[in-house]
Amino acid sequence: GINAEYMGFAHKCSGCCFPIRGKYFELEGSLWHSECLYCAYCHRSLDNDSVFYDDEGQQFCSRECAEMVPDYHSQSEAAAQIENTMKSPQADTKHSLNKLISLAIKQSTEAVETNRRRSLFTRDEVEKMPMESFREQLEFAPIHQEKDGDEKLFDVIDYAPKVFQGMRLLYGISSTSYIESLCNQPLSGGTVGAGCSGMVFYFSKDRRYIVKSVTRTELVFMKQFLRGYFTHCVTHHDTLLPRFYGLYKIKLENQPSLRVIVMNNVFDTRLKIDQTYDLKGSTVDRLVSGDQLQKGCKVLKDLNLTSKVFVGDTVRGKLIEQIRVDTELLQSYNVMDYSALLGINLEGKMQDPPAGGWPPEREGLQISLFQTHHGGIPGLKRNSPTNVTYFMGLIDILQQWNYNKKMEHYAKSMLQMLGKFTEKRPDRALSVVQREFDPKAISAVESCQYQTRFMKFICGAVV
């Protein structure tokens, strides 16, 4: 009775979501177990520290560590500043930012292959490995690329190289094919994504990989999340979570750092993607208007999805179960604000081939149950095949329910409530409007509510 009462009413840690007992820290209104906080620079637990330093939402065990991790508020601004420096008359113009990223990935991958030990691979090895031993796998490997003798072009920090090498091997990707896709031809893109995060996206020439910039907050969380994520991918080979293949930080002298993560492209197919949806299960501000479409917006939202996703009973059951398992993992790490990225090919039309033609099919590549038809799921309605193919994956999985998201929820709640009061119900009491407005419909809600709402939406959309 006492223990159950305590478990039900005690404050919960924002990191592990378990009730707080004993020593804890309070950060911007959220509570943390001391052992759930790690130094953002040296990765050491803050469990034994009575004093630590907080810098822009990241914790450091000493002032020295805090000063050694300069950061930029926006990764798009960081990318633009590095790009402008490279285009200056004093710079070597043959090294554009996309070439720099490719070169950094190549140097890192070759270094791991040269010093190769057997990578983490099996579920048992990961689950039975002591946490301290696993943290050793998260050690970064600094690599220096030299140019013109002793003049250094850039520094690369390759995070958890052996773990990500294990991820590549898990899905049948050799170091040779990885380098060939990402490094032998220039990356395309370099534009800010359709969301409001300000992240920069690049694509490999064969469109098999996406290189996305990440914030420092996401980088720190990824290192905390990596063990559970890797174990999940080994256990659930058909996972719809992003397949992360590398995590790097690139630093030019006197320039902001650029952090990038390499992942699979959900739309790795020769079929043309006719419609693209970003689905969160929310109804507030989740409609792309006609004016936005005319201005070139190509990614639709929840309220734009007016037809069901017809995949048949057998595939539907497996798809729903896999999404449930995936989102339960995210919820256990207090992750929210993720999306289901849905692509639809309507008539079997093919994309125009890239310059030089389509690359050859890779041997040994491991595909999931949901990638069997041109990289997607064949449509099936009333047990009859359709001419529709669906592509689906979960994206943006590195955002936790934190102080900033709580403030976002509060601000959107007030805006929606006041909007209804002033525009739709000017003659009614504010208390009535508050009862009519459902704050749970806002995209930014805590992780448990988010997962429940997300699954309800997916179950209704997929038939």
The answer on pLDDT for 302 being more than 90 is yes
91 pLDDT band, cuts 50/70/90, is very low
DSSP 8-state secondary structure symbol assigned to residue 370: G
The answer on pLDDT for 311 being more than 90 is yes
118 pLDDT band, cuts 50/70/90, is very low
Contact 49, 61 (CB under 8 A): yes
1 pLDDT band, cuts 50/70/90, is very low
pLDDT at site 220 = 83
Q: What is the pLDDT of residues 401-443, one digit of tens each?
A: 877 777 777 777 777 666 654 444 444 444 443 444 566 677 7
User: How many other CB atoms are there within 10 angstroms of residue 110's CB atom?
Assistant: 14
d(CA 404, CA 81): 26
d(CA 231, CA 213): 24
pLDDT at site 462 = 95
* Region 198-215 average pLDDT: 90
* Region 131-136 average pLDDT: 53
pLDDT at site 34 = 75
The answer on pLDDT for 40 being more than 70 is no
4 pLDDT band, cuts 50/70/90, is very low
pLDDT at site 77 = 58
104 pLDDT band, cuts 50/70/90, is confident
Residues 6+ apart with CB under 8 A from 11: 19, 20, 31
Distances (CA, A) of 282 to 43, 59, 79: 35, 32, 32
Q: How far is CA 437 from the centre of its chain?
A: 31
Contact 54, 27 (CB under 8 A): yes
Residues 6+ apart with CB under 8 A from 367: 375
Residues 6+ apart with CB under 8 A from 356: none
Q: What's the sign of the alpha-carbon dihedral 105, 360, 343, 447?
A: negative
Cβ burial 197-221 (10 Å sphere, 16+ → b, else e): bbbbbbbbbbbbbbbbbbbbbbbbb
pLDDT at site 30 = 73
Highest mean pLDDT among 72-76, 114-118, 249-253, 451-455: 451-455
Q: What is the pLDDT of residues 153-194, one digit of tens each?
A: 677 888 888 889 889 989 999 999 999 999 988 898 887 665
> What does the block give as tokens for 229?
């994520």
∠ CA 47-248-334, rounded to 5° = 45
Residues in the chain: 463
User: Whole-structure pTM over 0.85, yes or no?
Assistant: no
The answer on pLDDT for 364 being more than 90 is no
Higher pLDDT, 79 or 380: 380
Q: What's the sign of the alpha-carbon dihedral 76, 205, 309, 236?
A: negative
Higher pLDDT, 300 or 20: 300
The answer on pLDDT for 147 being more than 70 is no
> Across the chain, which distance is largest between two alpha carbons, in Å?
76
* Region 325-353 average pLDDT: 94
* Region 318-341 average pLDDT: 96
d(CA 168, CA 109): 11
∠ CA 45-40-29, rounded to 5° = 80
394 CB-contact burial (10 Å; exposed 0-12 / middle 13-18 / buried 19+): buried
What percentage of the chain reaches a pLDDT higher than 90?
A: 36
d(CA 131, CA 295): 50
> What does the block give as tokens for 379?
């449509």
d(CA 256, CA 216): 12
Nearest to 341 by CA among 293, 380, 303, 302: 302
Mean pLDDT, the chain, whole residue set? 77
115 pLDDT band, cuts 50/70/90, is low
380 pLDDT band, cuts 50/70/90, is very high
When mean pLDDT is compared across 79-83, 173-177, 290-294, 423-427, the lowest value belongs to: 423-427
Distances (CA, A) of 394 to 15, 167, 298, 401, 454: 22, 17, 18, 17, 11
202 forms bridges with which residues in the sheet?
A: 189, 211
Q: 254 in the Ramachandran plot: left (φ > 0), alpha (ψ -120 to 50) or beta?
A: left
